[in-house]
Structure 1
């Protein structure tokens, strides 16, 4: 088998199974592991997939986000667990930012009975969840309303976020890559997330396991900006280890 043909078949194999080890590929194509490592290095340089310790993972792209109603029912149990864990990190007296999203909404649901907390959000769903919480102050950023998600975004949102200083920001993200960090497919939504990150002393990313390892068009922030990652127990240790290696505290729930 010619090298070019073998590399194409390696790509096809990894696309089918999403991941593969060097030893598995060496057996599959009846060549030495050194040959497979050389092939993988050449394929990786083309951006088709990502090398891991002892193997490879097919790079999956996030090109758009489903509607809020669709996302609200996806991985619901996991998002509820993440929200409860994230809320436990909030202390009475904290000033925090809660980003817009279906996972971050569950943080608000778990804060209703808490005291002396100020919540800044660009999400009308989050604000509505906390509207009857007598001991929580809610600040809406203002901005252009996205009716499909009840999110506020744009110039006014960015201006308000640029004037704030908070203790914690809870950030939701549709793609979290071990090399490129927090990523998003929609350029207009990037500045608000960047403003939240600049405004907070501690950045806590909340995302279900399906977003981890994904690539997208725009980089919001590098992984060095993240202090804590909260995700579901469904996430594999192989996917999480690069974030731990970067000094990020990782919680799985």
Structure 2
């Protein structure tokens, strides 16, 4: 078996756990083809990240991880659609003519793409979202650049770091990104480790980070962080954030906008 990178190996562990719910280190070693010592290190790290729970001799899937994994893009796209549309309209105010903006593969970013498609504005849109690229591909005023990467089964996003070389050649004015969860302590977090790895590079490349997060994600922490609270410039949500949290965000120099 070809040697896996750490991220590939840990994603494979999660795939196997989602299939079996509980596995021993020995079973994982046989199926993945790496030593039990390596797998114990992986499992301990993944437990710290909230991906799984260690058991005697193995690991089992966390309930929250199962929920995250089973929420497909098609389902997420339909959730809170009206709220995401309001967020998209607020996000548009930060976009200027001839900018180069970066959209992740989230359903909220797709709503922003749909809104952009109705506007008379010239832009370059770089995205890791296949659906987002398709939404904008026929707009004569918008140049669409799709970040390269791996497309996994059932996914609408480019994953992995194959697109990093392309990102490094571009000057990105604004990144609009969503997440499975956002909290002051942990920042923006997501479930898919491949996607997290790419998003970390996207965050580093953009001059401004605009978090577009519907209310259901606020106060939630998913598996792995890709943007710390200090890296976020603007947070747009569809509901009022409690005063204590908003005060903390403002103290972090984050502009908070409620798209009501």
Normalised by the length of structure 1, the TM-score is: 0.71
Counterparts of 2:257 and 2:151, CA distance in 1: 33
Match of 2:98 in 1: 93
Residues 44-97 of structure 1: CA deviation (Å, up to 9, x unaligned): xxxxxxxxxxxxxxxxx9532410111111111111111111122211111110
Q: Distance in 1 between matches of 2:127 and 2:109?
A: 10
Q: Distance in 2 between matches of 1:236 and 1:161?
A: 36
The structure with more strand, counted as a fraction of residues: 1
- Tell me how far 1:221 sits from its aligned partner: 2.1
Whichever of the two has the greater Rg, that structure is: 1
Question: CA separation in 2, counterparts of 1:201 and 1:156?
Answer: 22
- Deviations, residues 203-223 of structure 1 (Å, cap 9, x unaligned): 001110111111223121211
Tell whether 2:69 aligns with 1:67.
Answer: no
How many pairs were matched up?
A: 193
- Which residue, out of 213, 217, 220, partners 2:219? 213
Contact 1:62 1:174 in 2 (8 A): no
Q: CA deviation at 1:181?
A: 0.9
1:1-253 paired onto structure 2 within 5 Å: 63=65, 64-65=68-69, 66-112=71-117, 113-233=119-239, 235-253=241-259
Matched position secondary structure for 1:251: strand
Secondary structure of 1:204's partner? strand
Q: Which runs of 5+ in 2 are unaligned?
A: 1-62
Is 1:114–1:135's contact at 8 Å kept on the other side of the alignment? yes
Separation in 2 of the partners of 1:62 and 1:198?
A: 28
Q: What is the Cα-based RMSD across aligned positions, in Å?
A: 1.7
SS of the aligned residue for 2:163 comes to helix
TM-score (norm 2): 0.70
* Alpha-carbon distance in 2 for matches of 1:98, 1:169: 6
Instruction: Give the C-alpha shift of residue 148 in structure 1.
Output: 2.1
**Structure 2: how far apart are the matches of 1:142 and 1:233?**
34
